[in-house]
């Protein structure tokens, strides 16, 4: 099972710690295609259990050397110099190829360790300018929810940390597992990160009286050749008004939203059914298996067949 280190550095904040422990620290193996879940260990400076997470196994920063993924939560004191021992452990883990993720202002810790040098990264929008000023070698993007560069991931503030954690589950265990957790937490299953390697569909509107009826209508017709005009007509909006509303509420334009909904539908069909690739292509509105393969590989980096072999639910 994937082993994750949750780093409780000196100024770590409760909200992001709680998000990571909720996603990775509770056994939800019934949602996993492998029948296993994450093995979460808490890493503190002295290895002593933290009162917030006393129920989880704890080790020192040296434990970072024995995990597959490191999660660094936000910091409530950006002027506090990170523990040199922690920075050394993060550098060593990065050199070994360990996946490292920061939540919100945890990006400052990664930047201090040099992990973000030459990388695209994000953090809470209020502190993005400060991150860019302090670490000019980092390409800071203040207008995205999260950035996935494969072995290094960063998220924007607060709820975007949840988006990134669900994104990690989706990468590791598939769409069904991530969607299952999201349903239990009563949150959107996935939001478009903006710079994601495994791009995920955007969130639903926050208010039920907005675009939700039109989006639900469209999702029920993904096997049909929907156009922006079709969506705009259902929403009783002009195409320009629709595009503006979707970018505000969903951080995506109409065609982008439709495309990622089709990919998400294909993922779920590949995970949950034995349908042929041709049938999956038709059901999600991609038309042909060739078209599905092209778009699926462009978005997720694997073929539909390879994805099914990894995430098929028995």
pLDDT band at 313 (very low <50, low <70, confident <90, very high): low
Instruction: Tell me if 231 sits within 8 A of 254, measured CB to CB.
Output: yes
**Mean pLDDT across the stretch 156-163?**
88
The CA distance from 70 to 237, in Å, is 45
Q: What is the structure's pLDDT at 203?
A: 45
8 Å CB contact between 249 and 206: yes
| Rounded-to-integer distance, Cα 95 and Cα 288, Å | 42
* Vertex 21 angle, CA 11 and 203, to 5°: 100
Q: Give domain limits for the chain.
A: 3-185, 203-311
Number of other residues whose CB lies within 10 A of the CB of residue 4: 23
Helix (H, G, I), strand (E, B) or coil at 240: helix
CATH 1.20.210.10 fits 203-311, yes or no: no
Q: Domain 3-185: which topology?
A: Rossmann fold (3.40.50)
Inform me whether the pLDDT recorded for 96 exceeds 70.
Answer: yes
- For residue 13, the Cα-to-chain-centroid distance in whole angstroms is 20
Identify the CA nearest to 252 among candidates 207, 298, 191, 168.
Answer: 191
pLDDT in tens, 200-235: 444 454 444 578 899 989 999 999 999 999 999 999
Please give the pLDDT value at position 41. 96
Instruction: Assign 169 a pLDDT band (cuts: 50, 70, 90).
Output: very high
Q: What's the pLDDT at 200?
A: 40
| Average pLDDT score, the chain | 88
**How far apart (Å, rounded) are the C-alpha atoms in residues 119 and 138?**
6
**3-class secondary-structure state, position 138:** coil
- Using the predicted structure, report yes or no on whether residue 277 has a pLDDT greater than 80: yes
Secondary structure element (H or E) that encloses residue 101, with its range: strand 99-102
| Residue-level pLDDT at 68 | 96
Residue 195 pLDDT grade (very low, low, confident, very high; cuts 50, 70, 90): very low
* Per-position DSSP letters for 23-41, written without gaps between them: HHSS--GGGSTTS---EEE
* For residues 269-278, average pLDDT: 90
pTM of the model: 0.67
């Amino acid at each position: 099972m994937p082993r994750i280190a949750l780093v409780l550095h000196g100024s770590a904040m409760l909200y992001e710690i709680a998000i990571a422990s909720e996603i990775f620290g509770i056994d939800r193996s019934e949602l996993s295609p492998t029948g296993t879940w994450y093995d979460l260990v808490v890493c503190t400076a002295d290895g002593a259990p933290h009162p917030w997470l006393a129920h989880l196994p704890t080790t020192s920063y040296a434990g970072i050397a024995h995990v597959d993924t490191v999660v660094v939560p936000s910091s409530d004191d950006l002027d506090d110099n990170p523990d040199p021992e922690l920075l050394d452990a993060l550098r060593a883990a990065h050199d070994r190829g360990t996946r490292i993720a920061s939540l919100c202002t945890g990006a400052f810790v990664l930047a201090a360790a040099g992990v973000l040098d030459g990388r695209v990264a994000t953090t809470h929008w209020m502190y993005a300018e400060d991150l860019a000023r302090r670490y000019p070698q980092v390409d800071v993007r203040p207008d995205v929810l999260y950035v996935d560069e494969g072995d290094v991931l960063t998220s924007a503030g607060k709820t975007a940390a949840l988006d990134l954690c669900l994104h990690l589950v989706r990468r590791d265990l598939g769409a069904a597992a991530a969607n299952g957790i999201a349903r239990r937490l009563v949150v959107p299953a996935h939001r478009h990160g903006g710079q994601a390697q495994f791009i995920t569909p955007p969130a639903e509107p926050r208010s039920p009286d907005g675009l939700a009826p039109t989006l639900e209508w469209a999702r029920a017709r993904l096997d049909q050749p929907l156009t922006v005009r079709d969506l705009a007509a259902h929403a009783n909006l002009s195409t320009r008004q629709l595009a503006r509303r979707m970018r505000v509420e969903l951080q995506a334009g109409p065609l982008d939203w439709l495309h990622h909904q089709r990919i998400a539908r294909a993922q779920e069909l590949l995970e949950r059914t034995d349908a042929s690739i041709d049938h999956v292509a038709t059901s999600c509105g991609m038309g042909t298996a060739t078209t599905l393969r092209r778009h699926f590989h462009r978005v997720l980096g694997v073929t539909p067949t390879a994805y099914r072999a990894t995430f098929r639910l028995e």
